Amino acid sequence: MTEDWELERSDLVATLAHELRSPLTGVKGFVQAVLNRWDRLTDEQKKFMLSTALVDADRLSRLITEMLDVARLDTGRLQLHRRPTDPGPIAQRVVGSVSMTTSREITLEVADDLPEIDADPDKLAQVLTNLVDNGVRHGDGTVAVSLAAEEGYVRFRVEDGGDGIPDQVREHVFTKWWTGDKSMGTGLGLYVVGGLVDAHGGSIALDDRPGGGARIDVSWPVYAD
Residue 144 pLDDT:
95
Q: pLDDT tens for residues 183-210?
A: 455 667 788 899 999 999 999 998 888 8
Residue 74 pLDDT:
80
Secondary structure percentages of the chain, helix, strand, coil, to 5: 55, 20, 30
Residue 189 pLDDT:
77
Query: Nearest to residue 177, comparing CAs of 190, 195, 194?
Result: 190
CA 15, chain centre distance (Å) = 17
CATH classification of 2-75, choosing from 1.10.287.70, 1.25.40.10, 3.30.950.10, 1.10.287.130?
A: 1.10.287.130
Query: Do the two domains 2-75 and 83-221 of this chain adopt the same fold?
Result: no
Residue 4 pLDDT:
59
The DSSP line for 13-26 is HHHHHHHHHHHHHH
Q: pLDDT tens for residues 165-185?
A: 776 677 667 767 666 655 455
% of the chain beyond a pLDDT of 90: 37
User: One-letter amino acid identity for 131?
Assistant: L
| Top mean-pLDDT range of 29-38, 98-107, 115-124, 128-137 | 115-124
Question: Which is more confidently placed, 76 or 223?
Answer: 223
Mean pLDDT of 155-170: 81
Confidence band, pLDDT 50/70/90 cuts, at residue 93: very high
Domain boundaries, the chain: 2-75, 83-221
- CA distances 167 to 164, 185, 206, Å, are 9, 22, 10
Mean pLDDT of 107-136: 94
Q: pLDDT tens for residues 67-83?
A: 788 888 888 888 899 99
Q: Give first-to-last CA distance, the chain, whole Å.
A: 46
| CATH of region 83-221 | 3.30.565.10
Query: Nearest to residue 217, comparing CAs of 131, 142, 143, 111?
Result: 131
Residue 87 pLDDT:
97
